[in-house]
Amino acid sequence: MTPDAMPSLAPLLAAIAQRIGAAHVLTEPADMAPFLHEERGLYQGRAPAVLRPGSTEEVAFVVEACARAGVPIVPQGGNTGLVGGQMPFGEVLVSLARLDRIRAVDPVDMTMTVEAGCILDNVHKAAEAAGCLFPLHIASQGSCRIGGNLASNAGGTAVLRYGNAKDLVLGLEVVLADGRVWNGMKRLRKNNAGYDLKPLFLGTEGTLGIITAAVLKLFPQPAQRTTAFLAVPDPASALALLKRLRGEAGDALTTFELMAAFGVETVLTHMPGTVRPLADRYDWYVLAELSAPTRAFDLGALMEEALGAAMEAGEVLDAVIAASEAQAANLWRLREDMSEAQKHEGGSIKHDVSVPVSRVPEFLERALPACLAALPGLRPCPFGHVGDGNIHFNLSQPVGMEKAAFIGLWERFNRIVHDIVTEMDGSIAAEHGIGILKREELAHYADPVALDLMHRLKAALDPAGLLNPGKVLSNGR
Amino acid sequence: MTPDAMPSLAPLLAAIAQRIGAAHVLTEPADMAPFLHEERGLYQGRAPAVLRPGSTEEVAFVVEACARAGVPIVPQGGNTGLVGGQMPFGEVLVSLARLDRIRAVDPVDMTMTVEAGCILDNVHKAAEAAGCLFPLHIASQGSCRIGGNLASNAGGTAVLRYGNAKDLVLGLEVVLADGRVWNGMKRLRKNNAGYDLKPLFLGTEGTLGIITAAVLKLFPQPAQRTTAFLAVPDPASALALLKRLRGEAGDALTTFELMAAFGVETVLTHMPGTVRPLADRYDWYVLAELSAPTRAFDLGALMEEALGAAMEAGEVLDAVIAASEAQAANLWRLREDMSEAQKHEGGSIKHDVSVPVSRVPEFLERALPACLAALPGLRPCPFGHVGDGNIHFNLSQPVGMEKAAFIGLWERFNRIVHDIVTEMDGSIAAEHGIGILKREELAHYADPVALDLMHRLKAALDPAGLLNPGKVLSNGR
């Protein structure tokens, strides 16, 4: 049934309150507001209630009770998603935030067992305390929660070396659509005992089950790190430099981010305390970092030598290598503050796309003029994980244009950018997911056979369509 | 319908012969024999016909024709599977061997596009020719085919660094149960555009679809490599050494294999040309290899220093570092020839199990005496990928026992070994899969919720149950 056709929820909510505590069943608008307001302001959620279960068993109780009553649910972690996947539009919201225990850290197995509501930064800290590294790093790490990271298969700045969120998972615990719990909390590096069920829930945005806990892979903590900020002539040179650094440093190359001048200048203009890293201004910049868990070789010397050769080859125009932790932190801010800084420049139409790594320059050569032709004065702000072929192709509004009018052009720019991406055999959703923002785009571009398979999975795991309905896939077919 | 209740296949086979060529529809027992004989002799296959389509389109035609006729199919690659997953028991066999083109190698994107029938060694060679590495290494690489490797999620000696087969895949092309083709041949490093469908077909042993092609990840070729063969006091010392080498070498540690004395002695006894690597005999050995795509640091010196410290710490009793490629090859043979050598010692009951890495010593301490108590004179031959927690827990028969009588004890040893593994939260199938050999074991040990999810996937993707029926899961529920 549609949310608006739901019968009175009073008996259901009373039963749930009895189990999880009345204090954790929110129905007052003021109490619910933080869960229904989405940071970018693209969506205003609506929910008859926000439920805050405190354990896997309580989540299972809530889901089963809602399933029996035919009431649809939207699960939510830290409410930081960028595509509206965490927003209810009339459904009951189930917050995982109270499931925030770190159950175990094992530095011999290099694993950590966490509940879905753990804030990502707390996962980092617990790993560090055990002398390990959990390498998922994204801008929202101070408030996003690991369950949401896994459900959306988050990416970030360390994917180049460590993979996406889904690559960092050994085990999962999931509440299924009917309230049963699947306990897949193995901490095994190898397991071919039947179908691997984890991928059903990693990156499927809570539409096939609700992740309540996970066993994460840990890595050795870096013993040394060297960070460089470089000016490059163009994206093709950045790719040549990527190849060079990988050849020299192998897996020690852990970050390689490309940025256009507009984004860097925007950070320098709006973000207090940031410092211009190079004397001159250039069109394109790269943030590169080497790190390794050993001191058996000198990464600083390796970086200097590689950059010297790259400058001789014309791949690099100017470079600075951080001489201190504080300098490194400043260089990182030029990349990490980019989304925040962009807010000061008015509306931003964002695309999170990927193409084969080798085709990033071609993508930019085609997409930039196409967008500028569509709206003179547009200020493109492309940046991102060039080593993954993933560009955040953001477009800041022309100076003086009305923000709402600009945001109204979103679909038009979608068509321009996503047509090019699709022609280049790329993806319209590299690391932010589909949610509601890109659902129609997915339906527009996806192979019909692939869409049919996705709908079959949805029907097999959530036949009543009660889990995060209308996200990723349209209701019905 | 069951294979034995199938109507005359003559019209179906005639239609298929018209499409793929009569020469590729085998029905004579002598022609079919190589496809129906399984190397370990555990199973003798039966099939009314062996079909050898030559392209994805022909596979799709065959599958659709069989689906319309309600005729079940078993797909087969190189016929090297260790659990009988590739064996028909009355079904039509579809060999993928003729789909053996390497469609493309891209050293910039570090990808290779291959058809399912490519022999793994040919994939290695094509990668090498482009200056790259495809790091899946298993004993059968001279005859196994990549489609089978992916369908069974093969493991091998490089998983420690590079992951299992499924971790090496960016894109897939699959013929579905109804003959439709899913083209998921993206060569993207990041793609969150809807549900990831690849895991449905990786490691599911052809029960949900038939892989016809794949985009594989490549890696930089090692520029240096150093191989050591070590005697260690016990498995716990091996784990300490693993931790030490990882701490010193980071990702340059690409192989770490544990072997019991019996296996090494068996190789030295039966395999011509092998050379005893250390002066004395010990109970446990380790083969360790460091490799890196750069010469920026000296792996040989790093290995020497780490092993020196390990000997001082009592983790290593004796060691040899290969001084030449030929010596390294000999050290590798002591590990790689182990399964082959074991054939000379009569029957072998094999278990392919995993436990959390930290618990490998405990597993061996429990499983070895339990098996010896069950059959005095038994000669255990445990070896394997200790860094992945994966032990090939093989048991050679007592000297003089009749082979058939020994093999008849397989289920009894299964119960002993798999009970211990399950109590230790391990897996009864680490890298060889389930097939038919372990199907009842899976049904016995698997969580009922997990089994239910697997059956739901099977019903969603192959509702008529025509793809590799009875493998992994029982027919019906």
Task: Tell me what pLDDT residue B475 has.
Answer: 79
| Residue A467 pLDDT greater than 70, yes or no | yes
Fold of B346-432: Alpha-Beta Plaits (3.30.70)
Under DSSP, is residue B169 helix (H, G, I), strand (E, B) or coil?
A: strand
Share of chain A above pLDDT 90, in %: 92
Q: What is the mean pLDDT of residues A331-343?
A: 94
| Residue A184 pLDDT greater than 80, yes or no | yes
pLDDT band with cut points at 50, 70 and 90 for residue A469: very high
pLDDT in tens, A80-133: 999 999 999 999 999 999 999 999 999 989 999 999 999 999 999 999 999 999
A204 vs A473: CA distance, rounded Å: 10
Task: Tell me what pLDDT residue A476 has.
Answer: 56
Identity of the residue in B194, B203, B427 whose CB atom sits nearest the CB atom of A188: B427
Decide if B192 and A182 are in contact by the 8 Å CB cutoff.
no
A338 vs A267: CA distance, rounded Å: 6
Q: Which residues contact A219 (CB under 8 A, 6 or more apart)?
A: A110, A132, A133, A134, A135, A162, A293
Q: Which residues contact B400 (CB under 8 A, 6 or more apart)?
A: none
CA distance, residue B7 to nearest chain A CA (Å)? 31
Mention the CATH class of domain B102-220: alpha beta
pLDDT band with cut points at 50, 70 and 90 for residue B6: low
Report the amino acid identity of residue A66: C
Report the amino acid identity of residue A138: I
Beta strands at B318-321 and B224-232: parallel, antiparallel or unpaired: antiparallel
CA distance, residue A184 to nearest chain B CA (Å)? 8
CA B132 to chain centre: 22
Task: Tell me what pLDDT residue A7 has.
Answer: 62
Task: Tell me what pLDDT residue B344 has.
Answer: 95
Identity of the residue in A182, A191, A296 whose CB atom sits nearest the CB atom of B354: A191
A vs B, Cβ pairs < 8 A, gives: 260
Mutate to test the interface with B, among A189, A358, A391 (most CBs of B within 10 A): A189
Q: What is the mean pLDDT of residues A387-414?
A: 96
Sign of CA dihedral A241, A247, A249, A254: positive
Q: What is the mean pLDDT of residues A351-374?
A: 97
Q: Which residues contact A249 (CB under 8 A, 6 or more apart)?
A: A290, A299, A302, A303, A306, B294, B296
Task: Tell me what pLDDT residue A42 has.
Answer: 85
pLDDT band with cut points at 50, 70 and 90 for residue B476: low
Report the amino acid identity of residue B476: G
pLDDT in tens, B313-326: 999 999 999 999 99
Mutate to test the interface with A, among B109, B164, B181, B195 (most CBs of A within 10 A): B195
Task: Tell me what pLDDT residue B320 has.
Answer: 98
A180 vs A72: CA distance, rounded Å: 16
A141 vs A124: CA distance, rounded Å: 9
Neighbours of B305 (CB within 10 A): 13
Mutate to test the interface with A, among B109, B169, B190 (most CBs of A within 10 A): B190
**Are the beta carbons of B194 and A444 closer than 8 angstroms?**
no
Q: Does domain A3-98 have CATH number 3.30.43.10?
A: yes
Q: Which residues of B touch A199 (CB under 8 A)?
A: 196, 198-200
Q: Which residues of B touch A426 (CB under 8 A)?
A: 186, 188
A284 vs A278: CA distance, rounded Å: 12
Task: Tell me what pLDDT residue A1 has.
Answer: 43
Q: What is the mean pLDDT of residues A14-38?
A: 97
Identity of the residue in B109, B200, B354 whose CB atom sits nearest the CB atom of A189: B354
Task: Tell me what pLDDT residue B360 has.
Answer: 97
Higher pLDDT, A421 or A42: A421
DSSP E strands in B301-405: the ranges are: 318-321, 348-349, 352-354, 379-385, 390-396
Same fold: B3-98 with B346-432: no
B158 vs B138: CA distance, rounded Å: 9
Decide if B194 and A429 are in contact by the 8 Å CB cutoff.
yes
For the entire predicted model, the pTM comes to 0.96
Decide if A449 and B186 are in contact by the 8 Å CB cutoff.
no
Where do runs of H (alpha helix) occur along B4-111? 10-20, 29-36, 56-69
Q: Fill in the DSSP letter of residue B156.
A: -
Q: Which of these, A432, A466, A430, A427, lies nearest to A447 by C-alpha position?
A: A427
Mean pLDDT for chain A overall = 95
Residue found under tokens 């896994």: A150
Q: Where are the domains of chain A?
A: 3-98, 102-220, 224-334, 346-432
Looking at the DSSP bridge assignments, the partners of residue A44 are A37
Task: Tell me what pLDDT residue B251 has.
Answer: 83
CA distance, residue B186 to nearest chain A CA (Å)? 7
pLDDT band with cut points at 50, 70 and 90 for residue B294: confident
Q: What is the mean pLDDT of residues B22-50?
A: 94
pLDDT band with cut points at 50, 70 and 90 for residue B477: very low
Identity of the residue in A153, A194, A460 whose CB atom sits nearest the CB atom of B459: A460
| Residue B247 pLDDT greater than 90, yes or no | no
DSSP E strands in B168-293: the ranges are: 169-175, 181-184, 210-217, 219-220, 224-232, 253-260, 284-292
pLDDT in tens, B109-152: 999 999 999 999 999 999 999 999 999 999 899 999 999 999 99
Task: Tell me what pLDDT residue A6 has.
Answer: 56
Decide if A432 and B159 are in contact by the 8 Å CB cutoff.
no
B413 vs B415: CA distance, rounded Å: 5
Among the CATH numbers 3.40.50.2300, 3.30.70.2190, 3.50.50.60, 3.40.50.1860, which is that of A224-334?
A: 3.30.70.2190
Could you tell me what percentage of chain A is helix, strand and coil, using 3-state DSSP and rounding each to the nearest 5? 40, 20, 40
Report the amino acid identity of residue B120: L
pLDDT in tens, B71-84: 999 999 999 999 99
pLDDT band with cut points at 50, 70 and 90 for residue A297: confident
Mean pLDDT for chain B overall = 95
